[in-house]
């Protein structure tokens, strides 16, 4: 079967179309005929080699999010899954291929008519946004800043925070992107430094991380909460606690959030609800472009250049 592997870590040129063997389906797993593959920030982080991951070596097949039809099932899996359209989390990798294996506990059925492209646009990203806002204990009427709002997580965070009754500001790199974010409910546009802003924020959802993160802790109101959900700009400084302690009386909080900390059945229920919201028009799948799988390197070049608004989707 056709796929894409990381032959060398670093630039997108290390992503190479490759003929791959058929994946083996183990107990508790399903084999999916892939229709769409979500290209996420974690794929870029793994490709760059900036964050080490056990088991990732040259020849690794990236991609953690696919949608398609279950071709076959492994031992212990209900045969009724065969032939069903699903969204699937493939774990550390394996998604950039014509067929992919996933644990059945990491599979969510897709309703008739809901597209595979929309599913991989929202399946992980919108779920991260939803749980991150809950992790921050967002309340109606609070002020929220979404840092990295043009990505798929950030876009979902904007819409979900607006639905929760918050006023939402975003960081953006251009007026044109700002206007698109206004269409999703954002009311205040900041440059990427986070300034100027008229008032501090109760909640910051940060997809970016990197060395500038402490500046956004300083944008928090008393009792404000910053939740870090990504690190596309690299890891933040190690001395974050110092800044919080210097402003001890402000009672500000810093937290990280990963879907790995949520039980699989809770994730599946939440994802199914988000898919229903999208089908009903209450949540917007923002697709930047749909490219052939063989063009995975081009998708990553656009991500590295900051030229993506929403999510790029690959199709075999």
Note whether 59 and 153 are same-domain residues. no
**Predicted pLDDT of residue 195:** 58
Q: Are 23 and 102 in contact (CB under 8 A)?
A: no
**Predicted pLDDT of residue 55:** 65
Domain count, the chain: 2
**Residue 253's domain is classified under what CATH number?**
3.40.50.720
- Supply 152's token pair: 């798929």
Q: Kindly state whether residue 117 falls inside one of the protein's structural domains.
A: no
- The dihedral region occupied by 185, where left means phi > 0, alpha psi between -120 and 50, and beta the remainder, is left
Q: Are 15 and 82 in contact (CB under 8 A)?
A: no
- Supply 21's token pair: 């063997």
Instruction: Provide the domain limits for residue 143.
Output: 125-259
Q: Are 41 and 124 in contact (CB under 8 A)?
A: no
**Predicted pLDDT of residue 74:** 98
Q: Kindly state whether residue 171 falls inside one of the protein's structural domains.
A: yes
Name the domain boundary from 240, 259, 278.
Answer: 259
Q: Are 18 and 113 in contact (CB under 8 A)?
A: no
Taking every pair of C-alpha atoms in the chain, what is the biggest distance, in angstroms? 59
Q: Kindly state whether residue 120 falls inside one of the protein's structural domains.
A: no
Note whether 92 and 163 are same-domain residues. no
Note whether 95 and 142 are same-domain residues. no
**Predicted pLDDT of residue 256:** 96
Q: What angle do CA 83, 19, 49 make, to 5 degrees?
A: 100
**Predicted pLDDT of residue 167:** 97
Note whether 68 and 184 are same-domain residues. no
Q: How many CB atoms lie within 10 A of CB 137?
A: 13
Residues 6+ positions from 78 with CB-CB distance below 8 Å:
104
**Predicted pLDDT of residue 238:** 85
Report pTM.
0.93
- In degrees to the nearest 10, what's the CA dihedral of 137, 143, 148, 154? 60
**Predicted pLDDT of residue 239:** 86
Per-residue pLDDT of the chain (316 residues; tens, 9 = 90+): 999 999 999 999 999 999 999 999 999 999 999 999 999 988 998 999 876 555 688 999 999 999 999 999 999 999 999 999 999 999 989 999 999 999 999 999 999 999 999 999 999 999 999 999 999 999 999 999 999 999 999 999 999 999 999 999 998 878 888 899 999 999 998 876 555 556 899 999 999 999 999 999 999 999 999 999 988 888 889 888 888 888 999 999 999 999 999 999 999 999 999 999 999 999 999 999 999 999 999 999 999 998 999 999 999 9
Q: Kindly state whether residue 270 falls inside one of the protein's structural domains.
A: no
**Predicted pLDDT of residue 194:** 55
**Residue 309's domain is classified under what CATH number?**
3.90.180.10
Note whether 144 and 50 are same-domain residues. no
According to DSSP, the β-strands at 85-89 and 65-73 are antiparallel
Note whether 299 and 204 are same-domain residues. no
Note whether 186 and 215 are same-domain residues. yes
Note whether 100 and 224 are same-domain residues. no
- Supply 28's token pair: 């508790």
Q: Kindly state whether residue 264 falls inside one of the protein's structural domains.
A: no
**Predicted pLDDT of residue 181:** 94
Torsions phi, psi for 84 (to 5 deg): -85, 140
What is the spatial distance between Cα 121 and Cα 123, in angstroms, rounded to a whole number?
Answer: 6
Element (H, E) at 102: strand 99-103
Note whether 250 and 310 are same-domain residues. no
The single residue listed with the structure tokens 């995975």 is 296
Note whether 255 and 155 are same-domain residues. yes
């Amino acid at each position: 079967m056709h796929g894409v592997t990381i032959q060398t870590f670093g630039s997108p040129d290390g992503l190479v179309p490759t003929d791959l063997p058929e994946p083996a389906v183990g107990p508790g797993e399903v084999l999916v005929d892939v229709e769409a593959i979500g290209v996420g920030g974690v794929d870029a982080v793994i490709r760059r080699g900036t964050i080490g991951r056990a088991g990732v070596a040259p020849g690794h097949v990236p991609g953690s999010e696919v949608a398609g039809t279950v071709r076959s099932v492994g031992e212990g899996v209900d045969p009724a899954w065969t032939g069903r359209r699903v969204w699937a989390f493939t774990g550390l990798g394996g998604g950039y291929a014509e067929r992919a294996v996933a644990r059945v506990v990491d599979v969510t059925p897709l309703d008739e008519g809901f597209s595979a492209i929309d599913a991989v646009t929202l399946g992980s990203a919108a779920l991260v946004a939803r749980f991150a806002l809950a992790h921050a204990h967002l309340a109606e009427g609070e002020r929220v800043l979404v840092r990295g709002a043009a990505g798929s997580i950030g876009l979902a965070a904007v819409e979900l925070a607006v639905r929760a009754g918050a006023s939402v500001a975003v960081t953006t790199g251009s007026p044109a992107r700002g206007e698109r974010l206004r269409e999703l409910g954002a009311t205040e546009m900041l440059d990427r430094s986070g300034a100027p802003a008229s008032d501090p924020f109760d909640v910051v959802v940060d997809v970016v991380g990197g060395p500038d993160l402490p500046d956004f802790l300083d944008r928090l109101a008393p009792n404000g909460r910053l939740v870090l959900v990504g690190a596309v700009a690299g890891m933040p400084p190690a001395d974050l606690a110092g800044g919080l302690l210097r402003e001890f009386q402000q009672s500000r909080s810093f937290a990280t959030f990963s879907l790995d900390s949520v039980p699989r059945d809770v994730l599946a229920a939440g994802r199914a609800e988000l898919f229903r919201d999208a089908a009903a028009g209450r949540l917007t799948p923002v697709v930047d472009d749909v490219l052939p799988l063989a063009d995975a390197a081009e998708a990553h070049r656009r991500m590295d250049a900051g030229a993506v608004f929403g999510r790029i989707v690959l199709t075999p």
